[in-house]
Structure 1
């Protein structure tokens, strides 16, 4: 990739919400992608998520540590809305990656990461405005992007509508939100197909979200 005319810099999008471009080096992106491909295999693999109203999420998902389904965590730790098998374990190294991300983005310490929600977006997938409010812990949420560039819409804790800020998230970018922004509404209104780094070998976008359950 050619050098940026104006290199992307760390940006505080809202109080407690920070975007760090190119946080994952290319080699680390490839390692994380290889892990995601293993996690996506059955059992307890990538699934289509159905909402209580009978709709479906266009982004497909796999969970680690705790199984999330709209709008709760399964205490049995099984894929209750899928194949019924035990959820895949949350690896220690992923928790360490979460702690490193919070240190770099916010300059604070956070521990106890035990959930990963991995969403796969094909070119037509979207994510409506929502809050990550099913956890009992208010530890910062860590979001990592791989593959195609997306528009990430980051709003406010009170409403799904304006004010919000649209942020371009590219492969390797980190976004962390905690503190006063921990319960801010956010979503993905658009994915730009064909924008993934060719050397990554990924068609589509992967978002790896790390959380502390407090459960």
Structure 2
């Protein structure tokens, strides 16, 4: 039986000061099989293993050994190290993780899938939709996957997930980086593998934004 990761060194990237991302291919036990639920669970374990490896690399072995908890929205965090932001993602046998030093982070990896015109119009700006409509099918599906990884990474960094309406995050076709609600995002287009994007924001700025939102809601 293969290990959860396929044995090859994980590729790690520093996308901004203090913001680190790692991506790896899961082993056969996590990549597929006849039981999708079991495959998802195995990929989740592989992502946790990858996260601990990245934590050890950028924050030390003690951080790698700490327990990982999750908020009600499913956002992972380290209760004993509130100064470290963490995020995990997996899809189709690929796993990706992010660690932010004094920063909230979100990461998303996505294999291209067939997309419909209705989905494009729901998730893309009018300009992006026009560009996608003009592309061949394979190129369109790949370009959309890149857009979706940015959208997911942004709401993961925000801690809202689907409740944050990721489809409303405006992302240009072929975009490499940008901003949304104070979060900076990066698409790692200069690496091999499936579409992968990361978003981040300093924890101090994130806390201020969350207080402002809470105050508005309570008025």
TM-score (structure 2 length as normaliser): 0.31
* Higher RCO (CA 8 Å, separation ≥ 6 residues): 1
Higher strand share: 1
TM-score (structure 1 length as normaliser): 0.31
Larger Rg: 2
Higher helix share: 2
